[in-house]
Structure 1
Amino acid sequence: MSRPFATSLQVPAGALAPALPPKRRAALALLVILGTGVLVGLVFGLWPGLDLAVTALGFDPAQRMFTHAYTPSLQTIRDVNDIIVRAVAVTAGVILILWLAAPKVAAARLPGALSLRAALFVLATLAVAPGLIVNGILKPHGGRPRPIEVTQFGGTLDFVPWWSPFGRCDANCSFASGEMSSATWLLAVAVLLPARWRSLGIVAVLAWALVVGGARMAQGGHFASDVLMSAVITALTVWGLHALILRPGERTA
């Protein structure tokens, strides 16, 4: 009797989906961020009425108010995001202090991913994106009124597109979204995860950021372009500081 014909179905690991080299992954990430920014900027810049149309979905013309402006669950989302951001920032600060005060103890006790550079990276991205760019420059000086402040939704100020610096908002303006920036900033933590968890972490952060941004839109606090462009600005900051602070080939890079 002849031996039965057997076919091996074993495929070498990585043969079906080979991992990209770090430089190509970084280039692809940058391309996605910039492409998203250009697309969002052009769409909402050329058709600013789209911002009004999206915002109108949560506005009740009869009552002249946003239906979910005071919904407790949406406020809870904001509070949870604030708690997460503060917890991550404090943790990164403690790690940084430990490395500076007792480097030998830090080297012996902390996992490799929690390096001095990693702590600096996390804190720097928080300070630059949500801190300096969004809350330090854009919101105080952008001039764009929030949805609840424009005439189309019961306010007294004129609507302006996301790119216009000629709005009549004096402070704490609509562009860009601070909550969206802080939620997207959590990408700085996701990219430090082990390789097998990194993609899942990035997806989870982006999903959470969309929840946070959607809550602010439903409350009448921001337009869609405020939320989306804030995410782009923050993600681009994370990408740039990752390239500057974390060395190529480092375990956390």
Structure 2
Amino acid sequence: MTLQRLLIAYLMVVVLVQALFAAFPGIDLAVSALFADGSRGFAWAEGVAPTVNLLVRRMGELAIFLLLAGILYGVMTGKARGDDLRLMAYPLLCITVACGLVVNYILKSHIGRARPDTLAEFGGSAQFTPSWQVVAECVRNSSFTSGEASMAASLAIPAVAILWPHLSRTRGRVLAVLVAAAYVAFTSVLRIGLGRHFLSDTVFSVLFAAGFALALYPVLGIARARKHLPVLSPRRRALELAEQRGVF
């Protein structure tokens, strides 16, 4: 699928998702209610889920640190240049723009949407508001949208894009997509189950990450850079030669 087709598909998904949550805002309450024990709040908040959530978040932060350290080391030693730097910068820029700027700095600071665990429906006192509605139910660090979901998607989507030409045509690519989707979905479900975010918070965060990943892909020249991924390209060439010789 070409980049143009991916962009068209992405825009269609954005329109459909926005229309869905605008027409049926109660979806958020219905999904959150699946994890809530009536007015007594969210049971996951009292179990092992907060620890798991913290572990998942720290793993993402570790990946970010390793990417940043890799860039700094490569620049200082001269061992990473051109394509290598662009590949490492790809997910970092997605996180910086989607997660850092759009989600945390702009939306979470200005939308003011109350988190599920503070709503009157779940034992709190705040009022439910649909996505994108600017209110004052939350003074700072509001529910809309999810920082963790955007960070997970900003790591997973560029990773799949970078590895794509080095994966086998069917099995490897399907597996990569499933692993990436599972990571993002698991992160999102944790945030919903803990009562910290609504479904729409996580969905729009993933869409933001996907949008910036699509936008940065041609800007950074990822299509060319990923062909020469240092760790995988020699193995890929060996597999191609083996296939030509009829070994596989």
**Percent identity at matched positions?**
31
- What amino acid does structure 2 have at the position aligned with 1:60? D
The residue number in structure 1 matching 2:32 is 55
1:188 maps onto 2:158 in alignment: yes
Distance in 2 (alpha carbons) for counterparts of 1:176 and 1:118: 27
Write out per-residue CA displacement over residues 115-170 of structure 1, whole angstroms, 9 at most, x where no aligned residue.
01112222211111111111111111111101111222222121110020124211
- State the TM-score, normalizing by the size of structure 2: 0.81
Structure 1 or 2, whichever has the larger Rg, is 1
1:96 pairs, out of 71, 76, 86, with 71
Q: Residues 165 and 135 of structure 1: is their aligned pair in 2 closer, same or farther, counting only changes over 3 Å?
A: same
What are the ranges of 5 or more consecutive residues in structure 1 without an aligned counterpart? 1-19
Q: Deviations over 1:31-64 (max 9, x none)?
A: 3332222222111111111211111112212x62
2:190 to 204, 208, 215: 215
Structure 2 equivalent of residue 5 of structure 1: none
Deviation of 1:194 (Å): 4.8
- Cα distance in structure 1, aligned partners of 2:8 and 2:179: 20
Aligned length: 222
Q: Does the Cα contact within 8 Å between 1:144 and 1:175 map onto a contact in 2?
A: yes
In the other structure, the counterpart of 2:41 is: 65
Alignment TM-score, normalising by the size of structure 1: 0.80
Question: CA-to-partner distance for each residue in 1:94-113, whole Å, 9 max, x for gaps?
Answer: 2212332222x336xxxx9x
Aligned to 1:15: none
User: Does the 8 Å CA contact 1:177/1:226 hold for their aligned counterparts?
Assistant: yes
Which residue of 164, 167, 173 maps to 2:142? Answer: 173
1:69, 1:203 → 2: CA distance? 27
RMSD: 2.2
Name the CA distance, whole Å, in 1 between partners of 2:154 and 2:20. Answer: 24
1:112-123 correspondence to structure 2 within 5 Å: 115-123=84-92
Q: Does residue 1:34 correspond to 2:4, yes or no?
A: no
Report the Cα offset of residue 80 of structure 1: 2.8
Match of 2:80 among 106, 130, 148: 106
Structure 2 letter corresponding to 1:145? A
Task: Answer whether contact 1:176 1:227 (CA < 8 A) is retained.
Answer: yes
Q: How far apart, in 1, do the equivalents of 2:22 and 2:70 lie? A: 42
Q: For structure 2, which runs of at least 5 residues remain unmatched after alignment?
A: 229-248
**Which shows bigger deviation, 195-204 or 216-225?**
195-204
- Identify if the C-alpha distance between structure 1 residues 35 and 77 changes in structure 2 by more than 3 Å, giving closer, same or farther: farther
Runs of 4+ in structure 1 over 4 Å off = none
